[in-house]
Structure 1
Amino acid sequence: MLDNAIIMVSIILIINIVYVTFSTIRMILTLKGRRYIAAFVSMFEITIYVLGLGLVLDNLDQIQNIIAYALGFGIGVVVGSIIEEKLALGYITVNVISSDPEIEFTKQLRDKGYGVTSWYAYGMDGDRLSMQILTPRKYELNLYETIRLIDPKAFIIAYEPKQIYGGFWVKQVRRSRIKSGKKQEQKEKETAQLDQ
């Protein structure tokens, strides 16, 4: 079966896509502090790696195998990154500077379940409202959308905290009090209808 060049190229390509996908996920799990899951994933990763590399090294005279190996590596990086985005492990901290300190920004975000610390600041063009918000990564895009709806001119900076300890944020965020955008909008519509 491995004598057929097309089958050999396909096997090498698939093996390397799977290997690099596992490698990418393992690296991300390690960075997120999930070492035991990362160790478990690495067992499959190395087994697949040895199989794929062995096939290529046994057939170094076949340039298509080397090309398939390299192509599989590149595709594996993309696939692993997509899977990591879907998993959305960890938390993100978002710093927001509102152009209008009079907007009830903090209240609106807290009503949606986000932990917000805010303070008044002074920028080049006058007073500002500065906020720091912690959210699980899976709610990151919803948070950005909410911020843009409240203040389209808001300045946003986001980063992943290395370690989180204590405070109101962690308790509330871990309890998943954050309401997704669609669920919150539906709830607000139902409340408005009842009030009428």
Structure 2
Amino acid sequence: MLSNGLVMVAIILLINIVYVSFFTIRMILTLKNQRYLAAFISVFEVVIYVVGLGLVLENLDQIQNLIAYAVGYGLGVLVGMKIEEKLALGYITVNVITTELASDLPNQIRSKGFGVTDWMAHGREGQRLMMEILTSRKSEKSLYETVKVLDPKAFIISHEPKAFHGGFWVKSIRR
């Protein structure tokens, strides 16, 4: 079966897509402090890597195998990113800055289930309402949509917190 050049290319391509997808997910899990799951995935990742690289090295005279390996690597990065996007692991902090001072924006956002800390801030063009919202990455798009409906001109910045402690919302996610 491996003597057929087209089958060999397809196998190498598929192996590298799976390998790099595992690699991408493992790296993300490592960054999110999921050590044991990352270590578990790395076992399968290395086995797949060795098999795929072995196939290429055994047939190094076949340029199509090397091309399949490289293309599989690139596709694996894309597949791994898509998988991580679907998993949406972790939390984000979203900062929202608005000129809507008279509106009840923080309470409207809270009514959608988001925790909001708000305060008055001063920008180049005067007073602003500043809100900081911690939410799961799974709820990120919903939060953006909610803010955009309530204030289409709101300035939104998000970042991933490394760690957090205290607060009513944090107590609820630890349960």
Name the residue aligned to 2:67. 67
Aligned pairs for 1:34-73 (under 5 A) are 34-73=34-73
Aligned pairs for 1:14-53 (under 5 A) are 14-53=14-53
Aligned amino acid, residue 36 of structure 1: Y
Aligned amino acid, residue 57 of structure 2: L
Is residue 85 from structure 1 mapped to residue 85 from structure 2 by the alignment?
Answer: yes
Shift of 1:102: 1.0
Runs ≥4 in structure 1, deviation > 2 angstroms? 171-175
TM-score (normalizing by structure 1): 0.87
Name the residue aligned to 1:7. 7
Name the residue aligned to 1:105. 105
- Note the residue ranges of structure 1 that are not aligned, 5 or more in a row: 176-196
User: Helix, strand or coil: the match of 2:15?
Assistant: helix
Shift of 1:151: 0.7
Bigger drift between 88-97 and 117-126 goes to 117-126
- Note the residue ranges of structure 2 that are not aligned, 5 or more in a row: none
Distance 2:171 2:113 in 1: 11
Aligned amino acid, residue 43 of structure 1: V
Shift of 1:25: 0.5
- Alignment coverage as a number of residue pairs: 175
Contact 1:134–1:173, Cα closer than 8 Å, also in 2:
no
Distance 1:16 1:152 in 2: 43
Deviations 1:19-42 (A, max 9, x none): 000000000011111110111100
Is residue 155 from structure 1 mapped to residue 148 from structure 2 by the alignment?
Answer: no
Contact 1:89–1:138, Cα closer than 8 Å, also in 2:
yes
CA 1:105–1:174 in 2, change beyond 3 Å: closer, same or farther? farther
TM-score (normalizing by structure 2): 0.97
Distance 2:174 2:85 in 1: 19
Deviations 1:135-167 (A, max 9, x none): 000000000000001111110000000011111
Distance 2:135 2:167 in 1: 13
Distance 1:122 1:42 in 2: 48
Deviations 1:80-108 (A, max 9, x none): 00000000000000001011111101101
Query: How big is the alpha-carbon RMSD for the aligned residues of Structure 1 and Structure 2?
Result: 1.0
Shift of 1:60: 0.5
Distance 2:93 2:26 in 1: 23
CA 1:156–1:173 in 2, change beyond 3 Å: closer, same or farther? farther
Shift of 1:174: 5.3
Distance 2:121 2:24 in 1: 40
Shift of 1:169: 2.5
Q: Sequence identity, in percent? A: 66
